[in-house]
Amino acid sequence: MTNRSAAKVAGGLALAGVLFGGCLKTEEFPNTPAIKFKSFEFFGDSASLTISFTDGDGDIGLNASDNAPPYDTSSIYYYNLFLEHSEKVNGEWQVVGFRDPIFYRIPRITPTGQNKALEGEIAVAIDPFPLFITGNSDTVRYSIEMVDRALNRSNKVYTNDIIVP
């Protein structure tokens, strides 16, 4: 095969790849974020909580400069990931309220390009862990919710039961 023929074949294959790549179906998700509990891991006196998520319009996360209402520091929406701590007492889950709620501000992760749909994982550190134990239980769990920039609230998910060492 000559160099010219090899170049034509390579060019044809590259063109075919671009054409077929353009025909691939892009992922489509609802614009409201959806989350799933993935894992909870201990690391001595801290822990890591991981969720997976999807979002159709890709408006997950906030920049440090996103501080005008409704994202200002006096608003609940300054944060976009919310955890709630519960303890199992006599077989019933009881929410434990803290003076400082367990809220996180996830950085902006909007993709570039035409397809803004997002799918990924977010891990947050819980440090120290356990945050607080009333002494009535050795089993805790967390509920997790996320809010996107359009203030769409995700579904609420729960960790598995966590036995505190």
Q: Is residue 89 part of a domain?
A: yes
Residue 103 pLDDT greater than 80, yes or no: yes
In the block, which residue shows the tokens 């805790």? 140
Q: Is residue 115 part of a domain?
A: yes
Q: Is residue 13 part of a domain?
A: no
Contact 165, 102 (CB under 8 A): no
3-state secondary structure of 129: coil
pTM for this entry: 0.80
| Mean pLDDT of all residues belonging to the chain | 83
pLDDT, position 141: 94
pLDDT in tens, 3-12: 343 333 434 4
Segments in 96-158 forming alpha helices (H) = none
Note down the domain range covering 72. Answer: 34-163
pLDDT, position 26: 65
Residue 124 pLDDT greater than 60, yes or no: yes
Overall domain count for the chain = 1
Q: Report the share of the chain in percent with pLDDT over 70.
A: 82
CATH, residue 56: 2.60.40
Rounded Cα distance between 58 and 98, Å, is: 31
